[in-house]
Structure 1
Amino acid sequence: MSDLSALIVGCGDVGGRLARQLLAQGWQVAGLRRSVDALPAGVRPIAADLSDRRQPQAWPERAPDYLVYCVAASQHDEAGYRAAYVEGLRHVLGWLKANDQYPRRLLFVSSSSVYAQQDGEWIAEAAATEPEGYSGKVMLEAERLALDSGIPATIVRLTGIYGPGREWLLSQVRQGYRVAEEPPLYGNRIHAEDAAGLLAHLLRADAQGVALDDCYIGVDNDPAPLAEVVAWLREYLGVTQWSDEQRVRRTGSKRCSNARARALGWAPTYPSYKEGYAAILEGRN
């Protein structure tokens, strides 16, 4: 039985999966979100709106061993991103400071949108971060806030998360939407369960005294061309028609590497889109 504790701020899909994994390992887990009714069983609820700087009534009296900041913006514009990732984190850090609480480590869940490369390059953690869009720019600002918080911090840049309930591409394929084949548009993805698994792996490693880097990319083993993924899904789903009007659209093309995370001993349960989408379509995960 572990005596370790974690506070997961933004205990939604990925955060909830992380909570269940940690609970299974004997951790004590608190989850902060607006609607605590959706928290997994066994998670201590903390109801809070991160846009409100007032400390939640259920804030823990003791500092958690680990803080995981894993929120999702409810408003998809620059103001929404800033409120969720920068101001929300600033509020949480303020609550910790006001209570003289200092976790062992902060995991801040960020995004590969901080990388603007679009010519199919391989990307590792140290690649240039020169985002053009507001999402990447705000994420970099939030990352800096985490790293400058005074708490040992590690940034986890997740790529395109998919899983049950995250099935936009499946919907596009079923409708026969097309995707350009040349030049290849490489996409990066990670199953939601593997995203949670990477976070859990980092927490366990730190608890065991392993020195963590300040950044990890969360991605599967196969940053495949989108046309290849669509072709495989069409065959799996038995889709034969093509839409004449619309295409699957995406911008940019890069290949993110998980070498650093794998060197730490982590490996995805769903190493490519094939295993991951098969599990979704078969109702397994």
Structure 2
Amino acid sequence: MRLLVFGLGYSAQRFIDRHAGDFSHITATVRSAEKQQARQGANLELLLFGGDGSDPALAARIAEADLLLVSVPPGPNGDPVLAAFGSQIAASRIRRIVYLSTIGVYADHGGGWIDETAALSGDGRRRMRIDAEAQWRATAGERATMLRLAGIYGPGRNALINLGAGTARRVVKPGQVFNRIHVDDIAAAVAAAFAHPKAGIWNVCDDEPAPPQEVITYAATLMGIAPPPEVAFEDAEMSAMARSFYATSNRCTNARLKQDLGVALAYPTYREGLGALWRGGEGQ
């Protein structure tokens, strides 16, 4: 079985690391020649797509692929993968396409519990994601699965490391909650989505949405240090992108992920995830 991955980012790389043995050949795209040279492996062919150009061999890899994983974000002009290869993907023999989206596509529900049927709304980057999902469904039809990911953390990317680097902040916005998801649980969800006989839309998130400052406090407790002081959201110096994450407050359920795809989360809350990372040497 041949896998094609558009966008070898953090989550896609983790999926490959854990499931490379499931495939006879894996092709993944990177944006720069530097990354192409650094990551090449025995069972992993890296081709350029994006920043430094598009490799002509991609057309052949699309024609040969059985499965397609897409983690390239959309831009102001739409989804770049579909812009370049939409017609070829539509006509290909690829039997399942898994598109990594975000729970940020949901409208604000004021901290209420929502599932995959909740209304979508947003502007800027969130609107781009909503539009990209629609474009993939229009192109691939019943082959296209949407995995809507919560805030991603895992090895090399977590509150423990941020605390150690002095960059963690406890920004407080009353009523604000977020879901999170460990990258290993994303890898499990991708594998389950590929194996499932039908396409669908699934939230990939943990069991316990929580205020962001609580996660920082828990990480500081593991490390045996004092947490940074709380900062009111209105007073916090934040980039426009960082501030946009606070535009909605939702509690997303993962019931369908468990029931339909049979995914048993290795890290059902941030406590199990951060605890395992701390024991593994993160932040020390």
Give the TM-score category using the shorter length. Answer: 0.7 to 0.9
- The match for 1:254 among 250, 257, 268 is 250
RMSD (Å) for aligned C-alpha atoms? 3.0
**CA deviation profile, 1:129-173 (whole Å, cap 9, x unmatched):** 011x31110001111110011452111111101122323675258
CA drift of 1:245 comes to 6.7
Offset of 1:38 from its aligned partner? Answer: 4.2
CA distance in 1: counterparts of 2:264 and 2:178, whole angstroms: 19
Query: Does 1:266 pair with 2:263?
Result: yes
TM-score by length of 2: 0.80
Does 2:66 correspond to 1:65?
yes
The 3 A distance-change label for structure 1 pair 146 and 245 is: closer
Is residue 198 of structure 2 the alignment partner of residue 211 of structure 1?
A: yes
For the pair 1:9 / 2:6, whether they are aligned, the reply is yes
CA contact (8 A) 1:51 1:87 kept: no
- Counterpart position of 1:224: 210
Report the structure, 1 or 2, having the larger helix content. Answer: 2
> How has the CA–CA distance of structure 1 residues 13 and 127 changed in structure 2, closer, same or farther, with 3 Å as cutoff?
same
Q: Contact (CA 8 Å) 1:19, 1:40: kept in 2 or not? A: no
Following superposition, the deviation at residue 257 of structure 1 comes to 0.9
- How far off its partner does 1:10 sit? 0.6
Within 1, Cα distance between the matches of 2:28 and 2:271? 32
* 1:15 Cα deviation from its structure 2 partner: 0.8
Residue 112 of structure 1 and its aligned partner are, at CA, apart by 1.2
User: Relative to 1, partners in 2 of residues 1:21 and 1:244: Cα closer, same or farther, differing over 3 Å?
Assistant: closer
The 5 A counterparts of 1:30-109 are: 30-34=27-31, 35-39=35-39, 41-50=41-50, 56-57=56-57, 59-60=59-60, 62-72=63-73, 81-82=75-76, 86-96=79-89, 101-109=92-100
The verdict on how the C-alpha distance between 1:72 and 1:147 changes in structure 2, with shifts beyond 3 A counting, is: closer
Pairwise CA distance, 1:31: 1.2
Aligned equivalents of 1:150, 1:178: Cα separation in 2: 42
CA distance in 1, matches of 2:53, 2:89: 12
Q: How many residues align?
A: 265
Decide whether aligned partners of structure 1 residues 40 and 120 sit closer, same or farther in structure 2, where only a CA change above 3 A counts: farther
Q: From the superposition, tell whether residues 187 and 172 of structure 1 become closer, same or farther in structure 2 (CA, over 3 Å).
A: farther
2:137 to 147, 157, 166: 147
Deviation of residue 176 (structure 1)?
7.3
CA distance in 1, matches of 2:230, 2:194: 48
Partner of 1:77: none
The answer to whether the 8 Å contact 1:19/1:43 transfers is no
Q: Deviations over 1:187-210 (max 9, x none)?
A: 1111112112211111122xxxx2
Q: Bigger shift: 40-49 or 267-276?
A: 40-49
* CA distance, structure 2, for counterparts of residue 284 and residue 237 of structure 1: 11
> Contact 2:104–2:126 at 8 Å: present in 1 too?
yes
The answer (yes or no) to whether the contact 1:108–1:153 under 8 Å persists in 2 is yes
Gaps of 5+ in 2: 237-242
| TM-score normalised to structure 1 length | 0.80
> Which residue does the alignment assign to 1:238?
224
Report what 2:240 is aligned to: none
Q: Return 5+ residue gaps in structure 1 as ranges.
A: 74-80
Secondary structure of the residue that 1:82 maps to in structure 2?
coil
SS in 1 for 2:79: helix
More displaced 10-residue stretch of structure 1: 219-228 or 239-248 = 239-248
Is the Cα contact below 8 Å between 2:99 and 2:146 reproduced in 1? yes
Aligned to 1:20: 17
CA contact (8 A) 1:50 1:91 kept: no
- Partners of 1:39 and 1:221 lie apart in 2 by 34
Alpha-carbon distance in structure 2 between the residues aligned to 1:258 and 1:137: 23
Change (3 A) 1:24 1:150: closer
> 1:248-272 deviations in whole A, cap 9, x for unaligned?
7761321111111100211221111
**% identical equivalent positions:** 27
